Amino acid sequence: MKTLLFKASDRGTADYGWLKPNYYFSFAQYHDNAKVHFGLLRVLNDDFIGGGGAFPTHPHDNMEIVTIPFTGALKHKDSTGGEGVIKAGDIQIMSAGSGVQHSEANDSATNPVTLFQVWVFPKERNIKPRYDQKTFDLTQRTNKWQTVVSPIEADNALWINQDARFSLTNLQSGNEITYTNGFKNNGVFLVVINGSVEVDGQQLNKRDALGISETEGFTVKASEDAELLAIEIPMN
């Protein structure tokens, strides 16, 4: 098993007033030659959006964009007619495909939004743009993986145009959980949203991440109550 550690303290940062992002990979003005992507995972931004903050209408193409909110509510509108508000427990995906225009805004003038936004290179280019969102039962991820994004129909998740899976768990202190790849030769980018865990002898704390490859599975042990995101991704 090969691992690559991404410490929370080593992430790129910016402060635009209304927007305070942390970048796991090179993005906007932040660039690190060693952190451009992990396999076909291109972007993982940990965003704080202040009350009234908004991204005006802007274009995307040929990218699978997944948004995972933790607090607050985010409003989305795009040129496909896709529109909605997402909050904790919801997951949103947009296949930019042949090209789409969209905007995102904090749905509150006062309360902040915190979220992860993740960009994945697509399996097929120039597909028809699409938008979807789904609410998941948070109680169904206690000490087990809840798959929220996947091309596998049996996963009952949001469809993605890639052999990739996003899974979440709330792992209670002292418990162990094993992740098994859904696709052969994929890697996994494991992010500690909250808490602390141990993987392969490495301690990971809040917002640390571990890129895991050259294995078909791994085990995580919670040092304290922890919330985890596993992004399974093709490595090439």
CA distances from 149 to 44, 120, 175 (A): 15, 12, 24
76-82, long-range: CB < 8 A, 24+ apart: 76/102, 76/103, 76/104, 76/131, 76/133, 77/102, 77/103, 78/102, 78/103, 78/129, 78/131, 79/129, 80/129, 80/130, 80/131, 82/130, 82/131, 82/132
Cα separation, 4 vs 227, whole angstroms:
20
Which segments of 50-129 are extended strands (E)?
54-60, 64-71, 73-78, 83-87, 90-95, 100-106, 113-120
Confidence of residue 16 (pLDDT cuts 50, 70, 90): very high
Sketch the domain layout of the chain as residue ranges. 11-135, 138-233
pLDDT at res. 5:
97
CATH 3.90.1150.10 fits 138-233, yes or no: no
* Percentage, residues of the chain above pLDDT 70: 100
pLDDT at res. 82:
86
- Residue 181 tokens read as 């790849």
Whether residue 70 has pLDDT greater than 90: yes
Do domains 11-135 and 138-233 share one topology? The answer is: yes
pLDDT tens for each residue of 157-188: 999 999 999 999 999 999 999 999 999 999 99
CA distances from 140 to 52, 135, 137, 145, 174 (A): 32, 12, 6, 8, 19
pLDDT tens for each residue of 38-47: 999 999 999 9
CATH 2.40.50.320 fits 11-135, yes or no: no
pLDDT tens for each residue of 46-69: 999 999 999 999 999 999 999 999
